[in-house]
């Protein structure tokens, strides 16, 4: 258990992505109803809309979105670097930081530094902050992966220094201080992963995130590198499996020692009418170690037109407790936005139930 300024965080935990201070289609009360413990917001995206100054004046992201529980913030580096990788005209990366061209049409070049990322995260007032790291492409060469590790280590030191500076400047006692997580990069290369961990561990972070792609280029879970990275982080420091993922991948990663998960899969799938359901009528009959312990229910499928039961009898989400699958099918059919909300509530509850089951392994 981790004590934060916004209440306790019990591990393992699943944090839905509230990139722009909203988990799409649902509000903060809905998240509570699904047993969600924390959310992940994005420092970079919120710095452009609505802007860090506005959020700071609003009392931070918690007050802004009416969320009274823990919130983590991603540095924003991943999005910027993906954008630049897809189109180099959007910017370049140097030791100083990420130089990017504002996509708002002004064509102004902006420098996003480790210091700026930490300052933004303090403006947001999040409980768990993540260092800016250099995330290479999954097809990066050994040389590129090596450069990414060097930059990640250097930026981790600068994030740490800025974090300490901001912490010492705090005048109000607002409860437990925020946590700062480092990120271990190194691509699929064990030696590089080891080097990255050895160099950033002495900086004294509160936990560590998995940097880079948790999947192999073929789309499988990068088991060996995830297991190695988990081992490089000593207990009891919490490990954040950034970007993992599918239910079976979460189970595997938990067994390796990963304890915090964030993935857009349940919310994105919900909007595409793809619902998760355990392969058992009751939750206490689910064995998450068994292959195929869950299946998908496609809400738009014609066969659900007369399905008067819930999506899943093992689920206690607000949708399953109050509505039939036939009703949800109908809402998608007539294209009512309530369909997105109910489907999202169901998939979020599936993930929080999954984590409850995983914690008993
Ligand atoms: Zn449900």
pLDDT at position 331 is 98
User: DSSP 3-state assignment of 306?
Assistant: coil
pLDDT at position 102 is 72
Render pLDDT for 26-67 as a digit per residue (tens, 0 to 9).
999 999 999 999 999 999 999 989 999 999 999 999 999 999
Query: For residues 223, 199, 177 and 19, what is the CA-based torsion angle, rounded to 10 degrees?
Result: -50
Return d(Cα 147, Cα 152) in angstroms, integer: 8
* 278 CA from centroid of ligand 1 (Å): 10
Average pLDDT of 323-346? 98
Render pLDDT for 248-266 as a digit per residue (tens, 0 to 9).
999 999 999 999 999 999 9
Contact 270, 297 (CB under 8 A): no
Return d(Cα 61, Cα 73) in angstroms, integer: 10
Structure-model confidence comparison of residues 87 and 239, the more confident one: 239
pLDDT at position 53 is 94
Structure-model confidence comparison of residues 81 and 210, the more confident one: 210
What amino acid positions are annotated as catalytic residues? 74, 262
DSSP element (H, E) containing 226: helix 223-232
- Sign (positive/negative) of CA torsion 52, 79, 132, 65? positive
Listed in sequence order, the DSSP H helices in 241-296 are 247-256, 265-271
Contact 148, 77 (CB under 8 A): no
* 283 CA from centroid of ligand 1 (Å): 12
Q: Which residues does residue 295 pair with via DSSP β-bridges, in sequence order? A: 277
The residue among 358, 120, 172, 333 whose CA lies nearest residue 261 is 358
Q: Check pLDDT > 80 for residue 358.
A: yes
The residue among 177, 76, 65, 60 whose CA lies nearest residue 135 is 76
Assigned token pair, 174: 């607002």
How sure is the predictor about 104, in pLDDT bands with cuts at 50, 70 and 90? low
Query: For residues 317, 321, 323 and 329, what is the CA-based torsion angle, rounded to 10 degrees?
Result: 40
DSSP state of 88: G
Which range among 58-62, 76-80, 197-201 shows the weakest confidence by mean pLDDT? 76-80
pLDDT at position 101 is 85
Query: For residues 216, 218, 219 and 222, what is the CA-based torsion angle, rounded to 10 degrees?
Result: -20
Mean per-residue pLDDT of the chain:
95
| Tokens 């509160």 -> residue | 206
Contact 180, 121 (CB under 8 A): no
* 338 CA from centroid of ligand 1 (Å): 14
Return d(Cα 82, Cα 68) in angstroms, integer: 31
Average pLDDT of 293-312? 98
Return d(Cα 225, Cα 353) in angstroms, integer: 27
* 292 CA from centroid of ligand 1 (Å): 18
User: DSSP 3-state assignment of 76?
Assistant: coil
* Angle between helical axes of 190-200 and 142-168 (0-180°, round to 10): 20
pLDDT at position 103 is 64
pLDDT at position 241 is 98
Q: ∠ at Cα 303 (301, 308), nearest 5°?
A: 110
Question: For strand 274-278 and strand 294-298, is the pairing parallel, antiparallel, or unpaired?
Answer: antiparallel
Contact 240, 260 (CB under 8 A): yes
Query: For residues 37, 47, 117 and 126, what is the CA-based torsion angle, rounded to 10 degrees?
Result: -20
pLDDT at position 280 is 97
Q: Check pLDDT > 70 for residue 106.
A: no
Q: Which residues does residue 181 pair with via DSSP β-bridges, in sequence order? A: 130, 207
Return d(Cα 130, Cα 63) in angstroms, integer: 20
The residue among 261, 238, 265, 237 whose CA lies nearest residue 250 is 261
Render pLDDT for 164-180 as a digit per residue (tens, 0 to 9).
999 999 887 778 999 99
Residues 6+ apart with CB under 8 A from 234: 201
Average pLDDT of 91-105? 84
* 320 CA from centroid of ligand 1 (Å): 4
Which range among 65-74, 212-221, 329-338 shows the weakest confidence by mean pLDDT? 212-221
């Amino acid at each position: 258990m981790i004590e934060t300024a916004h209440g306790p965080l019990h591990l393992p935990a699943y944090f839905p992505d509230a990139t722009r201070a909203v988990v799409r289609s649902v509000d903060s009360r809905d998240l509570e109803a699904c047993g969600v413990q924390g959310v992940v917001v994005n420092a970079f995206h919120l710095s452009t809309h609505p802007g860090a100054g506005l959020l700071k004046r609003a009392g931070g992201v918690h007050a802004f979105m009416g969320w009274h529980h823990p919130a983590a913030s991603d540095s924003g580096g991943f999005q910027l670097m993906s954008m630049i990788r897809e189109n180099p005209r959007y910017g370049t990366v140097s030791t100083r930081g990420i130089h990017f061209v504002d996509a708002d049409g002004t064509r102004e070049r902006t420098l996003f530094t480790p210091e700026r990322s930490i300052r933004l995260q303090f403006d947001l007032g999040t409980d768990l902050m993540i260092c800016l790291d250099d995330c290479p492409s999954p097809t990066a060469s050994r040389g590129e992966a090596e450069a990414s590790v060097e930059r990640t280590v250097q930026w981790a030191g600068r994030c740490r220094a800025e974090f300490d500076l901001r912490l010492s400047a705090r005048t109000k006692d607002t409860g437990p201080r925020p946590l700062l997580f480092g990120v271990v990069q190194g691509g699929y290369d064990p030696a590089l992963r080891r080097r990255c961990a050895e160099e950033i561990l002495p900086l004294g972070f509160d936990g560590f995130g998995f940097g880079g792609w948790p999947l192999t280029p073929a789309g499988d879970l990068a088991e060996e590198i995830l297991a190695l990275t988990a081992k490089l982080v000593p207990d009891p420091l919490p490990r954040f499996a950034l970007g993992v993922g599918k239910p079976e991948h979460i189970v595997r990663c938990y067994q390796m020692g990963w304890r915090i998960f964030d993935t857009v899969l349940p919310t994105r799938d919900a909007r595409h009418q793809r619902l998760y359901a355990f392969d058992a009528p009751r939750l206490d009959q689910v064995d998450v170690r068994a292959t195929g312990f869950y299946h998908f229910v496609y809400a738009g499928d014609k066969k659900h037109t007369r399905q008067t039961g819930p999506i899943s009898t093992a689920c206690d989400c607000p949708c399953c407790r109050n509505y039939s699958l036939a009703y949800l099918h109908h809402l998608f059919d007539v294209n009512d936005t309530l369909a997105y909300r109910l489907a999202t509530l169901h998939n979020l509850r599936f993930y929080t139930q999954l984590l409850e089951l995983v914690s008993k392994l």
